[in-house]
Amino acid sequence: MSIILVFIGVLLSSTALDFTGAQSVGVCYGGNGNNLPTKQAVIDLYKSKRIGKIRIYNPDQGALQALKNSNIEVILGIPNDVLKSLTNAQAATDWVNKNVKPYYPSVKIKYIAVGNEIHANSPEASSVLSALQNIQKAISSSNLVQIKVSTAIDTTLIGKSYPPNDGAFSDGSVGYIRPIVNFLVSNGSPLLANVYPYFSYVNNQQSIGLDYALFTKQGKNEVGYQNLFDAILDSIYAALEKVGGSNVKIVVSESGWPSEGGTAASAGNAGTYYGNLIKHAKGGTPKRPNGPIETYLFAMFDENQKPGPEIERHFGIFRPDKSPKYQLSFN
């Protein structure tokens, strides 16, 4: 999750229920803490709260075992430090054979996220396209065509974001992102994007109101937007159009608000943001009015070992003891 401008279905028991299409909102599950519940207890919490989508950041075998027959849809992450090895086609095949084939379809892997928030000048940048292609070939040759292969970006790749219709990737990012977008177009895959109105607001308080960031603004602004989330998302859609990705769908692979540790970080603001985002995701944006917006809240738990500023450890919608921080409904 980047600190700059910048992303949950249905079970009451261990018996799988069918809730296909019932929800557009999931929750990211990060394990960067020393006080978190067991993997099985976490997945049981997803079930009991009727959270039908999950994002995990690596192929954790315990989490994947717990997800079997849960009917929870999964974004399965490939960590950034693995990407270079996956530029070797055999290594990519081995990765799929180890981390996908033993679990699918009893684990409903929907997307594979090849890297997270890699920038054009990152050491991993030169590996992303090749890793995407090799994982896609391994998926296709295994006849796992329902699984879509993508990568997760943050909004630092966007050079211009306002007005949203003028959204464009930065000059330094275009050469990196264009071939990735071509890959997504060729394979009918979405772009995963981590969208954080919180950071946009904190970094631009003179021009952005808190109500605009929290979905509580009354009426639209001068360019027809009522909230910052839609403005950011549509700026990415506009940027995609300019690099040949007009038909690429965006999945919001992270979005959240911290409950303490920094400017405007409070339980009140965070609860308002998450609750309003869950409702808002049922619809669309001005540029893409036909919803819902598939969105993954960040994150399931406060993670006390997450590096970075204090706010990074306070994005959870649950405490480590599994008690809810906010009254949210995923029905």
Long-range contacts of 92-95 (CB under 8 A, 24+ apart): 92/131, 92/134, 92/135, 92/137, 92/138, 93/134, 93/137, 93/138, 93/141, 95/135, 95/138
294 labelled catalytic: no
Catalytic residue among 124, 222, 241, 254: 254
Please give the DSSP secondary-structure letter assigned to residue 254: E
Q: By the 8 A CB rule, do 135 and 114 touch?
A: yes
CB-based contacts of 275: which residues, under 8 Å, 6+ apart?
326, 327, 328
Residue 215 φ/ψ, nearest 5 degrees: 70, 25
Q: By the 8 A CB rule, do 51 and 31 touch?
A: no
Q: Is 191 helix (H, G, I), strand (E, B) or coil?
A: strand
CB-based contacts of 102: which residues, under 8 Å, 6+ apart?
none
CA distances for 6 relative to 240, 286, 328, angstroms: 16, 19, 24
Cis, bond preceding 299 (omega within 30 deg of 0): yes
Catalytic residue among 73, 117, 294, 303: 117
Q: Residues 8-22, buried b or exposed e (16+ Cβ, 10 A)?
A: bbbbeeeebeebeee
254 labelled catalytic: yes
Angstrom distance (rounded) from CA 33 to CA 37: 10
Q: Which residues are part of the catalytic machinery?
A: 117, 254
